Amino acid sequence: MPEPRVTVWNEYRHELDNPRVSAVYPQGIHAVIAESLRSHGLSEVRTATLDEPEHGLSAEALAQTDVLVWWGHKAHGEVQDEVVERVVTRVLGGMGLIVLHSGHFSKVFKRLMGTGCDLKWREATDKERLWVVNPGHPIAQGVGEYLELAAEEMYGEHFDIPAPDELIFVSWFTGGEVFRSGCTFTRGSGKVFYFRPGHETYPTYFHEGVQRVIANAARWAAPTASAPRSFGNRQPLEVLPAGDGQ
Amino acid sequence: MPEPRVTVWNEYRHELDNPRVSAVYPQGIHAVIAESLRSHGLSEVRTATLDEPEHGLSAEALAQTDVLVWWGHKAHGEVQDEVVERVVTRVLGGMGLIVLHSGHFSKVFKRLMGTGCDLKWREATDKERLWVVNPGHPIAQGVGEYLELAAEEMYGEHFDIPAPDELIFVSWFTGGEVFRSGCTFTRGSGKVFYFRPGHETYPTYFHEGVQRVIANAARWAAPTASAPRSFGNRQPLEVLPAGDGQ
Amino acid sequence: MPEPRVTVWNEYRHELDNPRVSAVYPQGIHAVIAESLRSHGLSEVRTATLDEPEHGLSAEALAQTDVLVWWGHKAHGEVQDEVVERVVTRVLGGMGLIVLHSGHFSKVFKRLMGTGCDLKWREATDKERLWVVNPGHPIAQGVGEYLELAAEEMYGEHFDIPAPDELIFVSWFTGGEVFRSGCTFTRGSGKVFYFRPGHETYPTYFHEGVQRVIANAARWAAPTASAPRSFGNRQPLEVLPAGDGQ
Amino acid sequence: MPEPRVTVWNEYRHELDNPRVSAVYPQGIHAVIAESLRSHGLSEVRTATLDEPEHGLSAEALAQTDVLVWWGHKAHGEVQDEVVERVVTRVLGGMGLIVLHSGHFSKVFKRLMGTGCDLKWREATDKERLWVVNPGHPIAQGVGEYLELAAEEMYGEHFDIPAPDELIFVSWFTGGEVFRSGCTFTRGSGKVFYFRPGHETYPTYFHEGVQRVIANAARWAAPTASAPRSFGNRQPLEVLPAGDGQ
């Protein structure tokens, strides 16, 4: 199977507005994730950002995207509804989607989940441990028993999502919270992975384990040669005969 | 636990427009379902229809509804978005929802599922068998190994829904199709049950087994005294000490 | 529906051997759990222990048990295989089963799970928080956002169980671990709930929230009037005709 | 990722005892499945049968097996318990397992499921349609909306298994039955796929779609570089400090 073509989408505002963030991600979060995916052997990786025409997600761009990675935070409301529907349609048709961190509140994710997607949070440089609870899953391969992040924003339960199809990581935070931080969902023919890290002020996307998980997820979420999905009227009714041996 | 207060919502158009339907349901599908629920011991049952003000689903009406039953078909588009959001918000807050038959394409169901919710269909008086695949589930109690309906519209896979939390019934049709016809989903604190029968031209809602399943589902979907769901900022960070015995 | 008849089974060895344990549970863990269930309105509660004839789980005793609560630890190996099979058969036939704490390694639980059921542990008076991740579930009703236990043994992932049908609680421990501490499974017509607390040296079963969860679970796990489960040869083959309307 | 090494295990008794079966599978069912896997590009395929020493499943043989395919029927009882435990241990450690048809009643499958695994059946040359209900799943890739088998034994619900992690195929039979015929389960680090066809008297394993599904499943079930699973005592307790930024 050929390697999936990945588009890394980033809101790309914090990096331009906030010196604390640009100090960590001078070229933007998307550039770091894209480079990391390339270093994991995914050769077809491009980036797109909110302020490009059509947010960099034209029909043509999406048609050439097998897996879309999504990072957004403070400008969810600026993502045009038309683009949201375009992305959702592509996911239902088979495109993989990896939603990172504050993307839990993106229009795309909320639209696919059908729930509020809210959670608790604390910006306070907490320590996070992401424990693997599904060790044989392809997304966890090559990862240790847990990933430890020395500095992260806390996200805590209750996380208002449908029960995930598969739960892969559960996070622990110093302050006493837990979080379902690695969750898979199938929507239509598309595979969706939500992954909790990383807040824009911390160097989370430089973390080797985080990079590996995102690369694993990109391969896992790649579309297969899906069985066809056809709908609509099926006339006429023919009562099927029994098998040939009757 | 007190019995849930149920509102049976019906589009109530076919019964007024189509003599074939009014011959079967002269008072409307909602009247038959409501009467059936009462005969199963649910004493607080009211009905609501599309053409009432606010579709009969005012904030007050919903506040007094523990479980909402939904039948709609040809006028999905006429359901006001404001009412849809009101219903969805109540479901996420704990109200049960039972979606019947062509309600698979209602705005409310599609909004909660996040998928296209499409399927195959054939109006051709097919025989249907709904096999129980989860015999210990409360929704299946008192039902035999299968329900058999002598005349129904066919619905066939692929049914474009998220994988249900629980699969309870699988339908068989003469024409060679199968369908996941009894599916549960949790969305927020609310329990959702999709149940495939019955097409408006057939007397499906007079069928004893169908009536029992809907009554079982109304009890199953009733809200519990939900654990609280709180969201938002949790400052400050306190590192918790170890247990008292340290 | 009548209240379920509950049997609380306890190994009842630590309480006799270890003064630290008998100081907490002078009449045995089973006595405290049984009394708590009665105080939650379950009037038909009896107890059984390992050293009774047939471990107190004769065919007659099990036939009159709707829900079995299981606490065992150091004498798992002494439970007779014949009794294990008897319990498993009853569960598959519809009896509810609530497995507590170190019961994760009981023959009954391992037999029903099919996996190793191992985990990490630390006897070190850790603080535990059990976060509700499924707030609308009947087992969580009346519980706050989390239960906090001031002193408990730690259990940590990876917990070697099949993916639970429903995940209700996730535990946090001071030492940096998490655990899927409230899990439901259906096996045959029987409902199974695994609940992680409490270690024998701590007064966990006197904790109001823990008591409430066990009482909720006893009601949730009660058998329904299950749809029949029949198996075996189905001769002859008759091709079903289409529906009556053809 | 290198292609998985597959061992196709067959009871291989019907083919020697019954001329009707040997007419269809003169070299045995295992030979046809193995050849089919090779034709789908899996180059490392060997076979093993019941009457070989240790049933062809010595520790060495299993150590070199990434995915085990299992066909058994009338001699389940002759499979030595020691070999069963060896296979189960390998599955929990990550080896994939594909259980075919009457293997539903094998010791290995029952041991991993924890349930009775019984079902209805009819040997009567029925027509079977296996509908894809999870079209984006890797096991369904390259398959049409359904597979149709002109002649098969019927298997009908209720199928006494735990709810599968993923449901991929649902079968339709002329006689009015349905069956969950393609089910995945994770047990430990191992992936398990149950696939319903084919009865020994029919040429099912020559069917192109059936062959493709088994080949897809072999790739899907291949072990990943699993995250480590470690268990046992974790002393001492250290209260973790907050993140580096505190």
Residues of D in contact with A149 (CB under 8 A): 243
Q: Looking at chain A, which residue has its C-alpha nearest residue B154?
A: A234
Q: Which pLDDT tens digit goes with each residue over A154-202?
A: 999 999 999 999 999 999 999 999 999 999 999 999 999 999 999 999 9
Closest chain B C-alpha to A185 CA, distance in angstroms: 8
Please tell me what DSSP assigns to residue C28: -
Radius of gyration of chain B (CA): 19
Tokens representing residue D188 in the block: 């430990």
Whether residue D245 has pLDDT greater than 60:
no
Contact yes or no for B174 and C243 at CB 8 A: yes
Tokens of D76: 């389940």
Which residue out of B170, B173, B177, B181 would a mutagenesis test of the D interface target, given it has the greatest number of D Cβ atoms within 10 Å? B170
Sign (positive/negative) of CA torsion D99, D104, D109, D115?
positive
Are residues C188 and D112, on separate chains, in Cβ contact within 8 Å? no
CA distance D121 to chain C (A): 5
Q: What is the mean pLDDT of residues C204-217?
A: 98
Over residues D117-152, the pLDDT tens digits come to 999 999 988 999 999 999 999 999 999 999 999 999
Q: How far apart are the first and last CA of chain D?
A: 42
Can you tell me which residue has the tokens 């319903």?
A: D196
Select, from the ranges A234-238, B224-228, C36-40, the one with the highest average predicted confidence (pLDDT): C36-40
| Partner residue facing A229 (CB), from B125, B158, B230 | B158
Asked if D101 reaches chain B (Cβ–Cβ under 8 Å), the answer is no
CA-to-CA dists, residue D46 to B17, D32, D64, angstroms? 67, 12, 10
DSSP letter string, A206-229 = G-HHHHHHHHHHHHHHSPP-PPP-
Would you mind telling me the total number of residues written for chain D in this entry?
246
**Closest chain D CA to residue A239:** D174
Average pLDDT score over residue span A13-40: 98
Average pLDDT of the residues of chain C: 95
Query: Which tens digit of pLDDT belongs to each residue from C88-120?
Result: 999 999 999 999 999 999 999 999 999 999 999
Return the CATH fold of D6-115+182-221: Rossmann fold (3.40.50)
User: Domain boundaries in chain B?
Assistant: 6-115+182-221
Model ipTM?
0.94
Degrees, nearest 5: CA angle D151-D154-D159: 150
Q: Do residues B175 and B168 lie in contact, with contact meaning Cβ atoms separated by under 8 Å?
A: no
Question: How far, in Å, CA of D169 to CA of D152, rounded?
Answer: 16
* Residue in the block written with tokens 């909790």: A196
Tens-of-pLDDT digits for all 246 residues of chain B? 679 999 999 999 999 999 999 999 999 999 999 999 999 999 999 999 999 999 999 999 999 999 999 999 999 999 999 999 999 999 999 999 999 999 999 999 999 999 999 999 999 889 999 999 999 999 999 999 999 999 999 999 999 999 999 999 999 999 999 999 999 999 999 999 999 999 999 999 999 999 999 999 999 999 988 778 889 888 788 777 766 544
What tokens appear for D114 in the block?
A: 């924890």
- Alpha-carbon gap, residue C154 to C196, rounded angstroms: 10
Chain C CB contacts of D156 under 8 Å are 234
Q: How confident is the model at residue D4 (pLDDT cuts 50, 70, 90)?
A: very high
**Closest residue, chain C, to B245 (C-alpha):** C125
Contacts with B89 (C-beta within 8 Å, 6 or more apart), sequence order = none
**D117 near D109, Cβ under 8 Å?**
yes
D37 is written with which tokens? Answer: 């896997």
Give the model confidence (pLDDT) of D205-233 as tens digits.
Answer: 999 999 999 999 999 999 988 778 889 88
Closest to D13 measured CA to CA, from D69, D59, D79, D65? D79
Rounded distance, CA C204 to CA A168, Å? 29
B154 Cβ neighbours under 8 A, 6+ residues apart: A234, A237, B120, B121, B122, B124, B126, B128, B173, B175, B177, B179
Q: How far apart are CA D29 and CA D47, in angstroms?
A: 10
Exposed e or buried b per residue across D166-176, where buried means at least 16 C-beta atoms within 10 angstroms of its C-beta = bbbbbbbbbbb
CA dist., res. B69 & res. B194, Å (int): 10
Q: Are C183 and C157 in contact (CB under 8 A)?
A: no
For chain B, the straight-line distance linking the first and the last C-alpha, in angstroms and rounded, comes to: 42
Length of chain B: 246
Best C115, C120, C127, C131 member to test A by mutation, with max A CBs in 10 Å, is: C131
B240 touching C (Cβ < 8 Å): yes
Which of A112, A115, A230, A233 to substitute to test the interface with B, most B CBs within 10 Å? A115
CA nearest A106: which of A123, A130, A84? A84
Which 3 state secondary structure label does DSSP give A193?
strand
**Over 60: is that where the pLDDT of C245 sits?**
no
**Mind listing the pLDDT tens digit for each residue in A105-159?**
999 999 999 999 999 999 988 999 999 999 999 999 999 999 999 999 999 999 9
Q: Whole-angstrom Cα distance, residue A36 to residue A17?
A: 24
To the nearest whole Å, the CA of A88 is away from the closest chain D CA by: 15
pLDDT of amino acid C243: 65
* pLDDT band for position A2 (cuts 50, 70, 90): confident
What does the block give as tokens for D245? 């930024």
- A203 chain-D contacts, CB cut-off 8 A: none
Q: Given this model, what pLDDT does residue B234 score?
A: 84
CATH code linked to domain A6-221: 3.40.50.880
- Position A245 scores a pLDDT of 46
Query: What six digits make up the tokens of D83?
Result: 């070999």
Return the SS3 of D18. Answer: coil
- CA–CA distance, D9 with D56 (Å, rounded to integer): 8
Ranges B229-233, C227-231, D67-71, most confident:
D67-71
Cβ atoms of residues B47 and B31 within 8 Å: yes
Give the pLDDT confidence score for residue A236 in this predicted structure.
Answer: 80
Contacts with D3 (C-beta within 8 Å, 6 or more apart), sequence order: D41, D42, D43, D44, D219, D222
> pLDDT-derived band of residue D246, with 50, 70 and 90 as boundaries?
very low
Is the Cβ pair B163, D158 closer than 8 Å?
A: no
pLDDT at A246: 40
Which residues from D are below 8 Å from B176, CB to CB? 129, 172
Contact across the interface for D172 and B178, Cβ inside 8 Å: yes
What pLDDT does residue C236 have? 81
In this structure, the strands spanning A166-173 and A120-132 are antiparallel
CA distance D113 to chain C (A): 6
Cross-chain Cβ contact C134/B186 below 8 Å: yes
Mutate to test the interface with C, among D159, D230, D234 (most CBs of C within 10 A): D234
Separation between Cα atoms, residue D24 and residue D51, nearest integer Å: 21
State the Cα angle at D172 between D166 and D173, rounded to 5°. 140
Q: How many CA atoms lie within 13 A of C29 on its CB side?
A: 30
User: Which residues of D are less than 8 Å from C240 in CB distance?
Assistant: 174-176
Please answer whether residues D6 and D42 qualify as being in contact, where contact means their C-beta atoms are separated by less than 8 angstroms. Answer: yes
Phi, psi of A135 (to 5 degrees): -65, -20
The fold of C6-113+181-221 is: Rossmann fold (3.40.50)
State how far Cα C19 lies from the chain centre: 26
Cβ contact B75:B11 at 8 Å: yes
Return the pLDDT at A226.
75
Q: Does the CB of B166 have a partner CB in chain D at under 8 Å?
A: yes
Instruction: Compute the distance between CA of residue C135 and CA of residue B229 in angstroms, rounded to an integer.
Output: 7
**D180 Cβ neighbours under 8 A, 6+ residues apart:** B133, B170, D157, D159, D161, D164, D167, D169, D170, D171
- Least confident piece of the model among B224-233, C215-224, D68-77: B224-233
The three-state secondary structure class of B139 is helix
What is the interface size between A and B, counted as CB pairs within 8 Å?
123
Inter-chain touch D120–C154, beta carbons under 8 Å: no
What is the value of pTM for the model shown? 0.96
∠ Cα A161 A163 A167 (to 5°) = 105
- Return the SS3 of C99: strand
Q: What is the mean pLDDT of residues D6-20?
A: 97
Q: Do D12 and D29 contact (CB within 8 A), yes or no?
A: yes
pLDDT value of position C244: 57
Read off the pLDDT band of C246 (50, 70, 90): very low
CB C164 within 8 A of CB C180: yes
User: What tokens does D50 get?
Assistant: 């019941």
Check residue B244 and give its pLDDT: 58
Of the candidates B168, C190, A66, the one whose C-alpha atom is nearest the C-alpha of residue D180 is B168
How close A7 gets to chain C, by Cα (Å)? 32
